[in-house]
A and B are shown apart, each in its own frame.
Chain A
């Protein structure tokens, strides 16, 4: 009986502690980052200072400081409901943003919102992420406690409860011994700490915990196998999407011309690069170091702006001569003469070209550039870019993230099946303006009489196995 009461007490303690957590928690910006990326980033800029589809989020708490904090939470979870109540701040924001509505996020808990807010604040004030890294290093040690997550608290609580249980068990065992002794039944000595710890109950509990934890970890890791979110390998050419897509505003599909008509978005052929780089022969960041690689792959002689005849049959020495001349001439143009530094730069750049354009399977300089493939789907998953880009009118950034801000491209989305499914559940099909969907008569009728607002991908079979696996 006593045990039972003890267990109930312990559970109560855990419950109270658990429920009261949001009241004193600071929010976990790491968790917030994930949440932000999955829920907010398609509309809100992740630098928190510029507007995207949605307004900039930096300093959102100050702007809502006149109202109770709960209002901000309900605003984030369901803005439309708050607007409907006539909340002055909500209506103001609504009007400021051309009356465009924010999607509701009923799945977010208060904790989640706290985390997201912590992340937003962290990025905005520069205390989170790359900018904060240097600062964080300086205050290493001390900083750890302040940014610690709930896990530490839980560990402390568990340790405390464990200790408490141990003490109580020992106290009870002692009391029982004394009571028994009083009644003249004493046969056993009170249990020692050791005997309690090595009792069958404790060991089975530990074993059970171990199996559950082990299984959980194994399954999680197994699911994560071969997933490469945030994979940002070094490429043979330091091509910058930030420069091309961001600074120069080149349309994604100018180079990735397969996206509109094929399953592959297509890594552009070298001659696509040459469309512009026949004229732009020296780069703003890397000078001749990177651009010469394209010329060497395509067989373009930048010295006299011609394509080299019979380039495929050329020896490496001949190729080396052409491109070294080009690099040297450029150096001379910039520095007046070819000095020892110039020689070294020429050699380094040529070595870089050779390393980038050759591999164990491709000994010659000429020929295709071996880019490292970043986005890999398993062979049994079929994905078609044209379906999403041309038919679904999905923005490239929805899946690939703000590529125009990436100096080195990384895999932005998890590309997991759950991620795909989630999007198919939420996304509405371009239904009414495409005659293809005319065979779904029932949906059209429902749209017409107002019983339906839109048709999601799921509703036309977008979650079925053989839409992606065959």
Chain B
């Protein structure tokens, strides 16, 4: 089976899918029938309705036309700041920090208003990359749910001013034990302030935990090296990565940094594939990093300990008793052990296991392989996870026993939601005489606290970060605080009796602690100025700690041998739950399952050797609801049938099911934190062996998966042609007859190969393209090479080997181009508006396939099929090769979307952005009185250089034409030729792996020209002669023949 597929239906050639895909537009609503979520789309309206709407629109148009032109005011500054020119963006180097997540960024502001974050290309960690979460952070700033005013009650006294609250808190603090609960806190200044607080009062304790923790690794490192820190990794130096389940490209520790490193060894120039690294993932579910792995070895969650022990035995020596349920995994581990031994000092073995003994074995393996200070560093460890799980349990016991007088909850810490003992926390919090929440967002825990001291968003305040030893970064304010908030740092300083502004305190901390560690700058001012400019400062590293202990395999998890095991993972978008109220992240499809706005249960499927699948429990449709029971906790979840999910295991994400945050995050999916349990060390186990799944108990009618939306290259059986295999979306176009296109089932959408077959694949691709080009020469289109050869011609190149499908580009595109979110129900109706989608295809072995992620946006074809069919010429071509879309000319026939072979055009079925004057057109995803975009606070995120589209028009990728125009103008004004790299699209700047390159294809020296001439480069659907401007580089994997990954 060489073909790629996207779903069981696709692989199965399901007639219903063929039928669905034939309809370009899933449902045609005339009414805004989404007002009530449980209401089904109405049947097609009758003649009377039509007349009603006609009458209404005529009347409305008349009223609108009769309106006088409003008097518009223009307000200049009283005293204009030197740094601001209205209409010109100002950029600040800063960092996006949330718990242990860290991303160095440049913040784009317009008229003092941050509207976009871009990667900081100077940062050695990210080199310009970002994550979807960092891209979406700017929307959190304008979240209407944010806490706006301080408030609190103490006894019978209700307070709402900082002075009153501070006075009451000062009195309270003197009264007894103070406990401070926080997620990983990376700010050295906050740590210093906490130390001052501890010094002032006698019984102060700071408890750090992470909702999805690496507690066991910290403990193991503490035992082995005397440093309770996570190691630093250098994936760019590793030839072979053996990974037991860690999602290091998506969510684990420092994904932006790791993705950047990893991609350096995955991008290959021309035919030179010998330096490519190899990633082998051992796991039960198709994790996000697993989907990017070269090979996956399936082991059950409870077998991970044994598997690590076996690898340890094979590499270091000794033996590990017991067998894995997958015999092929046993073999694979032996092969991997040999491979690892032959790449001494050039490999990484890692695991996300939260078992201390397992992590100790991982350390021993890496040490035996000589990987420390070669590919793994304890001299420059990461500080992005600091939480020790057991501490939370002892805090809870103290609270229950009434031993805590004051509890201060910092930032996103939300133990009522994100710990296994949430319910107990909720009760115990009443035993604390004063509970204080210092956070920016409402949460399940904040609701229960007596005092709330709102903190500003990271884009509103000064702060500092120390994500890695020797790496200090700064957080700069980019807007005046929107609400009556106070930074956590200032609150703690106030409590410690040394009130000072954040800025002054951070500066003095840096002068005292950071400045002396470096010798590049002689004066602190110069050092500080350079830090503010660059966004970070690098100072001398630490000495290599001494290794102290020898681990044994005692204490590793033993295989449970139960019928069904479940593994939990961190969702890409909502993370541990603190990002849940961000609709950009909620509407970003999960890269693997392609589901939005929901938590799903991944269930396995098995190829029965005939022409069909056997599904777990007979669940044969995505979105079927089942009851999931783990121990005593029961949850109802929709399912997806997941390729690569091991038999006897299921998986689901943590981070959903919030109830105490804003409208966007509440009641989305179900929370599985209550189902988590702890091991003997108090470390949370991210799997369970006592799971059971019921049969189908219903179907989620709003289940929104973009799997089958806007597909291309999906094949199916055509019953009218005697069950012949046809291309589904071509069928839609070719209902009149079976022409040349109708026969195209092997269209050039994906090209992939393994590195050992690279030469053959390139040769094959060359012949294939020659054939396409030969066909294309037989064209009736006039040759316009001369026309497009003048000036610029914009194009793009996407490296499928480097693309990891993280979704940062998709969110960046939404932020840059004012692309609206539409809500779960609208997505279910195929109405998502994203200009850029990331198609996920499986290929190879049906039960444990490989994955290709293909970012798909408008291809800006020079022979664009959409342009020919527009009756009003609303879409047409520019001399610079852009497929232009004039919204105000569009009358909404949608012919263009029908005729687009790439399915990248989006229609505004409703007024998602609240751009026009008619309330009946508006969309209301969260059942609120005011639609999501109607709030002036939310609208502050809109990019003023891009039109806000109204209902009834088509929109699509413009290749960030506003950035093109800006870049050209800058070059013209500076009287110089445009240089390659002057203009970068939003997706390009967001990409953590540099997979997307934009540029002028008329300039032979530009990077994009070179990439599009690479041997591996091809154009999607080149045979259709649309002459697209976006080249793709063939996906190359590095699979090992010696490892057999199929299930037993």
Q: A residues near B, CB below 8 A?
A: 222, 225-226, 228, 233, 257-258, 261-264, 266-272, 297-299, 366-373, 376, 378-380, 382, 384, 386-387, 390-391, 434-436, 438-443, 460-461, 464-467, 469-470
Do B969 and A387 touch (CB < 8 A)?
yes
- Tell whether B972 is near chain A: CB-to-CB under 8 Å: yes
Query: Are the C-beta atoms of B75 and A269 separated by less than 8 Å?
Result: no
A residues less than 8 Å from B69 (CB atoms):
225-226, 228, 376
Known contacts A270-B78, A465-B885; 19 further A-B pairs (Cβ under 8 A): A258-B88, A267-B74, A269-B77, A269-B79, A271-B80, A298-B79, A369-B75, A372-B74, A382-B945, A382-B965, A387-B969, A436-B976, A439-B791, A439-B1000, A442-B789, A464-B876, A466-B961, A467-B878, A470-B945
**Is B32's beta carbon under 8 Å from chain A?**
no
Residues of chain B within 8 A of A441, CB atoms compared? 790
Q: Which of A368, A373, A386, A390 is close to B72, meaning CB atoms less than 8 Å apart?
A: A373
Contact surface of B with A, Cβ cutoff 8 Å = 65, 69, 71-80, 85-88, 786, 789-792, 876, 878-880, 882, 884-889, 945-948, 958, 961-962, 965, 968-969, 971-973, 975-978, 1000, 1002-1003
List A contacts of B887 (CB < 8 A). 380, 469
Interface centre among B791, B945, B971, B1000 (most CB of A within 10 A): B791
- Report which of A261, A270, A371, A466 forms a contact with B79, defined as CB distance below 8 A: A270
The answer to whether B880 touches A368 (Cβ under 8 A) is no
Interchain nearest-CB distance for A413 vs B (Å): 16
- Least Cβ–Cβ distance between A442 and chain B, in angstroms: 6
| Contact yes or no, A373 B74, CB < 8 A | yes
- The answer to whether B969 touches A461 (Cβ under 8 A) is no
A379:B948 contact, CB within 8 angstroms: yes
Contact B75 A261, beta carbon cutoff 8 Å: no
- Chain B interface SS verdict (over half): loop
Chain A residues lying within 8 Å of B886, measured Cβ to Cβ, are: 465-466, 469
Contact of B1002 among A272, A376, A439, A470 (CB under 8 A): A439
Contact of A225 among B65, B77, B973 (CB under 8 A): B65
The residues of A that contact B72 with a CB separation of less than 8 Å are 372-373, 376
Judging by beta carbons under 8 Å apart, are A264 and B86 in contact? Answer: yes
Q: Which residue of chain B lies nearest to A362 when distances are taken between CB atoms in the complex?
A: B75
Can you list 9 residue pairs at the A/B interface with Cβ under 8 Å? Answer: A258-B85, A270-B76, A380-B888, A436-B975, A461-B791, A466-B884, A469-B886, A470-B945, A470-B962
Does B876 contact A465, Cβ atoms closer than 8 Å?
yes
Chain A hits for B948, CB < 8 A: 379
Measured CB to CB, the nearest residue on chain B to A390 is: B973
CB distance from B181 to the nearest CB of A (A): 39
Task: Enumerate chain B residues within 8 angstroms of A461, measured Cβ to Cβ.
Answer: 791, 878-880
Q: Which of A367, A387, A466 contacts B878 (CB 8 A)?
A: A466
Question: Are B973 and A391 in touch, CB under 8 angstroms?
Answer: yes
Q: A266 to B86, Cβ gap below 8 A?
A: yes
Q: Are A470 and B947 in contact (CB under 8 A)?
A: yes
Residues in A neighbouring B976, C-beta threshold 8 A: 435-436
Tell me the complex Cα distance, A440–B1000, Å.
13
Cα(A465)–Cα(B976), bound, Å: 25
CB distance from B381 to the nearest CB of A (A): 46
Whole-angstrom CA separation of A270 from B75 in the bound complex: 10
Answer whether A370 and B71 are a contact pair too, CB < 8 Å, given A434-B972, A439-B1003. Answer: no
In the bound complex, do residue B73 and residue A435 qualify as a contact, i.e. CB atoms below 8 Å apart? no
| Residues B975 and A263 in contact, CB atoms below 8 Å apart | no
| Selected contact of A466 from candidates B85, B792, B882, B973, CB within 8 Å | B882
Residues of A contacting B962 in the complex (Cβ-Cβ under 8 angstroms): 382, 470
Q: Which chain B positions have C-beta within 8 A of A380?
A: 887-888, 947
CA distance A218 to B70 in the complex (A): 21
Question: Does A297 lie within 8 Å of B790, measured CB to CB?
Answer: no
Tell me the bound Cα distance from A228 to B69 in angstroms.
Answer: 9
Of B85, B789, B792, B882, which one neighbours A262 at CB under 8 angstroms? B85
Once the chains are docked, how many angstroms separate the CA of A269 from the CA of B74?
11
Q: Bound state CA distance, A400 and B946, in angstroms?
A: 26
Cβ contact within 8 Å between A436 and B958: no
Cross-chain contact of A261 among B80, B85, B1002 (Cβ < 8 A): B85
Cα A435 to Cα B972 with chains together (Å): 8
Contacts A271-B79, A391-B972, A439-B1003 known; A372 to B71 CB distance under 8 Å? Answer: yes
Contact at A269–B78, with CB atoms within 8 Å? yes
CB nearest neighbor in B for A462: B879
Contact B87 A258 (CB under 8 A): yes
Interface centre among B792, B948, B975 (most CB of A within 10 A): B975
Q: State the 6 A-B residue pairs at the shortest beta-carbon distance, nearest first.
A: A262-B87, A269-B80, A269-B77, A264-B87, A373-B74, A263-B87
Say which residue of B71, B947, B969 sits within 8 Å of A469 (CB atoms): B947
Q: Give every chain A residue within 8 A of B74 (Cβ-Cβ).
A: 267, 370-373
* B74, B86, B792, B1003: residue with the most chain A Cβ atoms closer than 10 Å: B74
- B884 to A386, Cβ gap below 8 A? no
A contact residues around B80 at 8 Å (CB) = 269, 271-272
> Within 8 Å CB of B969, what residues of A?
384, 386-387, 391
Q: How far is the CB of A80 from chain B (nearest CB, A)?
A: 30
C-alpha spacing A391/B1000, complex, angstroms: 21
B86 is contacted by which of A222, A262, A379, A436 (Cβ under 8 Å)?
A262
A379-B947, A439-B792, A464-B879 are contacts. A233–B975 as well, Cβ < 8 Å? Answer: no
**Contact status A261-B88, CB under 8 Å:** yes
Complex Cα distance, B65 from A226, in Å, reads 9
Q: How far is the CB of A122 from chain B (nearest CB, A)?
A: 31
Q: In the assembled complex, which residues on chain A have CB atoms less than 8 Å from the CB atom of B958? A: 466, 470
Give the residue name and chain of the B residue nearest to A255 (CB).
B76
Q: Would A435 and B977 count as touching, CB distance under 8 A? A: yes
Q: How far is the CA of A73 from the CA of B29 in the complex (A)?
A: 61
Which A residue sits closest to B975, measured CB to CB?
A: A434
B-side contacts of A440, CB under 8 Å: 790-791
Choice from B876, B878, B977 contacting A439 with Cβ under 8 Å: B977
- A464 B884 Cβ-Cβ under 8 A: yes
Which residues from B are CB-within-8-Å of A443? 790
**By CB atoms of chain A within 10 A, which of B73, B792, B882 has the most?**
B73
The listed residue with most B CB atoms (<10 A of its CB), out of A266, A373, A466, is A466
User: CA–CA, A379 to B942, complex, Å?
Assistant: 13
Name the CB-closest residue of B to A441. B790
Q: Which of A233, A269, A387, A438 contacts B977 (CB 8 A)?
A: A438
Q: Is the CB of B73 within 8 A of A372?
A: yes
User: CB < 8 Å: which of B65, B88, B878, B975 contacts A435?
Assistant: B975
Residue pair A436, B978 in contact (C-beta under 8 Å): yes
Question: Which A residues are in CB contact (< 8 Å) with B87?
Answer: 258, 262-264, 266
Measured in the bound complex, the distance between the Cα atoms of B958 and A436 in whole Å is: 23
Asked whether B71 lies within 8 Å of A233 as measured between CB atoms, the reply is yes
Q: Roughly how many angstroms separate A378 CA and B1002 CA in the complex, as a whole number?
A: 34
- Nearest CB of chain B from residue A11's CB, rounded to whole Å: 36
Question: B73 touching A467 by the CB < 8 A rule?
Answer: no
Q: Which residues of the partner chain A approach B71 to less than 8 Å between Cβ atoms?
A: 233, 372
Q: Which residue of B lies closest to A461 (CB)?
A: B879
Q: How far is the CA of A262 from the CA of B85 in the complex (A)?
A: 7
Instruction: Write the chain B residue with the least CB distance to A382.
Output: B945
A262 to B84 alpha-carbon distance, docked (Å):
11
Report Cα–Cα, A176/B497, bound state, in Å: 116
- On chain B, the residues within 8 Å of A225 by CB distance are 65, 69
Question: Who on chain A is nearest to B971 by CB?
Answer: A436
Distance, CA A163 to CA B36, complexed state (A): 66
Contact A266 B85 (CB under 8 A): yes
Chain B residues whose CB sits within 8 angstroms of the CB of A267 once the complex forms: 74, 76
Give the residues in chain B near A436, CB-CB below 8 Å: 968, 971-972, 975-978
Smallest CB–CB gap between A279 and chain B, Å?
Answer: 18
Contact B945 A371 (CB under 8 A): no
The residue that A470 contacts in the complex, of B76, B79, B879, B961, with Cβ under 8 A, is B961
Contact B75 A368 (CB under 8 A): yes
Q: Is the CB of A465 within 8 A of B76?
A: no
Q: How far is the CA of A390 from the CA of B961 in the complex (A)?
A: 21
Q: List the A side residues contacting B65 at CB < 8 Å.
A: 222, 225
Nearest-Cβ distance from residue A225 to partner chain B, whole angstroms: 6
Cβ contacts under 8 Å, B879 to chain A: 460-461, 464
Determine the residue in chain A with the shortest Cβ distance to B66: A225
